[in-house]
Structure 1
Amino acid sequence: MPAVLLDGPRHRARRGRISEGPRRFARKDSHGRSIAFERAHPQGDRMNISAVLLAGGESRRMGKDKATLLFRGRPLWQIQLELLRQLEPAEIFISARTDPTWRPADVEFVADDPPSRGPLSGLAASLAQMCTKHLLALAIDMPFMTQKYLKFLCGQIEPGRGVLPEIGNRAEPLVAIYPLEVDIDFRSALSGADFSLQTLTSRLAEAGKLRTISVPDEAKKFFLNLNTPTDLQRK
C-alpha cells in the first residue's frame, strides 16, 4: 500500500483539500532516489487517517539507533512500518532527527523543526503536514503492539477528538490518535518551556480534545517498549 506523498513541502492551506481525481507526481527524495506516485485521498477500504512512525534517533542505553535493532530477527523499523501499513492509512510519515537511510521511497520523512524536542516535535510536524483529520502515532520501540488494538483505537475517534490510552494514571502518548485541532496546542507547547507529552496530553484530555481509554490488563503488554539490550530478548 503506497503512502500518500506530496511534491515539495506542504502548507496548512492544503489540509482537507479534496481533488477531483488522483494527480501524478515525480521527484527525487533526499537520498537521490527517483520516485513516482499519485496524490490520492482516502476512499474505499482505505482508512481516513494519517499515521506517523516516531523513529527518534540514537538511544544512549542501546548504544545505537533503535530503528535498526533486530527483534525476533527483523529490524524494529520494518516491524512497526508493516504494522502501520496493515491499517491502510491515507498516508504514512517517518519522524526522526535526520532522514533515515532505511526509509522506503514511498514513505515520507517529516523533519523536526530545530531545535528538536523529541516526540513533541515529531508529532507537531506531522500534524502540520497531514492531509486527514486524525493522526495515529506509533513509537518505533513498541514491537508488541497489534493491528487489532490499533484498529480498536481508530474506531474510538470522533470529529475533533482523538484517543489517548492510559495505564493506571499514566498516559501512553506514543500510541495515540490526535485530531487536527490539537495542532495549535502542539505548536504552543514547542514555543514554551515544558516539552512533556504527559503534561500536554493531560491538558488536551481535560479540554475534551482527547478521549482517555483505560488499557485492560490483557492489553498492557502491547505497550512494553525496548530500552536496553536485555529487552531485545523478550518473547
Structure 2
Amino acid sequence: MGSAARFPFPAAILAGGRSQRMGRDKFLLPLGGEPVIRRVARLLGSVFSRVFVVAARARPFEELGFEAAEDLLPGNDSLGGLHAAVSRAGAPHVFVAGCDMPFLQLSLLRGLASRAAEADVVIPLREGYPEPLCAVYGRACEPAIRGRIEAGRLKMVGFHEEVRVVRVEEAEWRAWDPEGLSFRNLNTPEDYAWALDAVAGEEEGGDAG
C-alpha cells in the first residue's frame, strides 16, 4: 500500500477448508518462496490494520507466527468461520478472505473497504453471484449469522436477508481488478500449477496490486 494509510479495521483469513481436491493443506503450499497463507496475509496487511486467521484449531497457525482465533460455534463450515471473524474482529468491520486467494489485488481491497460504512455487508458480484470470501462484514451481522447457525441454515449469504447489503457490481469492481485475479483460488492441482506460472510472471514483470 506504500505510504497510504491502512483502513482502521482488520482482515480475517478463513482457513477451515478441507482441501480434499488438492490432497494436502492449501494454506501451506509454497508460492513465490512463501506459504500461500503468508502471501495472503502480506497482501491483506498492506491494506488493513491487522490480520488474523480463523480456524478450527488455532495452534498450527500460531506456530507459524499468526494471530489466530478458533471457531466459536465449531462444526458449521464457512459460516461458522465468518461468525468467528465478525465476533473476534474487535472493530466495527472486518474484511474476510479465504486462505487460498493469493492474487488479491490491493486496489480491489481498498475499493471494497472504502464502502464499509455504507452497509453491514459490502460484497462483490462475479458473473451475478456473490463472493462471500472477499467481502467486508460489519459487527451488526453477528446476531443474524448466529441465528442462521442455530437454525442449521449454513448458506454463506442466507443471512443477507436480515442485514443491509451493498452489492458491488462487476462493472464497478473491474475498474479495480480488470482480470478478476482476486477471485482466483487454489482448489485443485491445476489451479496451483496456474498460480505457480502466474507468480513466475510476477517475478519477471511486477507485483499484485
**What's the TM-score, normalizing by structure 2?**
0.80
Please name the residue that 1:148 is paired with: 107
- Does 1:210 pair with 2:144? no
Q: Residue 187 of structure 1 is aligned with which of 146, 159, 168? A: 146
Deviations 1:73-132 (A, max 9, x none): 43111110101111141x322111212534467642111135321221111112122221
Alignment of 1:110 onto 2:69: yes
The 2-side partners of 1:144 and 1:60 are apart by 21
Match of 1:93 among 46, 49, 52: 52
Greater shift, 64-73 or 143-152, is seen at: 64-73
- CA drift at 1:191: 0.3
Residue 63 (str. 1) matches residue 11 (str. 2): no
Which structure exhibits the higher relative contact order, with contacts defined as CA atoms closer than 8 Å and separated by 6 or more residues?
Answer: 2
User: What amino acid does structure 2 have at the position aligned with 1:228?
Assistant: T
Relative to 1, partners in 2 of residues 1:73 and 1:108: Cα closer, same or farther, differing over 3 Å? closer
Q: Determine which structure has more spread, i.e. the larger CA radius of gyration.
A: 1
Q: Superposition pairs for residues 1-235 of structure 1, below 5 Å? A: 45-89=5-49, 91-103=50-62, 107-158=66-117, 160-201=119-160, 203-204=161-162, 207=163, 209-216=164-171, 217=174, 218-234=178-194, 235=198
Question: How far apart, CA to CA, are the structure 1 residues paired with 2:132 and 2:126?
Answer: 11
Structure 1 pair 214–160 and aligned structure 2 pair: CA distance change class (3 A):
closer
State the SS of the aligned residue for 1:60.
coil
**2:140 is paired with a residue of what secondary structure?**
helix
Extract structure 1 runs of 4+ deviating beyond 4 A.
none
SS in 1 for 2:157: helix
Give ranges in structure 1 of 5+ residues lacking alignment: 1-43
- Cα distance between partner residues in 1 of 2:63 and 2:112: 26
The AA in structure 2 aligned to 1:174 is L
Total equivalences in the alignment: 187
Structure 2 CA distance, aligned partners of 1:93 and 1:78?
Answer: 11
User: Does structure 2 conserve the Cα–Cα contact (< 8 Å) formed by 1:168 and 1:214?
Assistant: no
Identity of aligned residues (%): 26
CA change 1:102–1:129 in 2 (3 A) is closer
Q: Which moved more, 1:95-104 or 1:55-64?
A: 95-104
Q: TM-score, structure 1 length as denominator? A: 0.72
Letter in 2 for 1:85: G
Higher strand share: 1
Structure 2: which 5+ residue stretches go unaligned? 199-209
CA distance in 2, matches of 1:48, 1:104: 26
Bigger fraction of residues in helix: 2
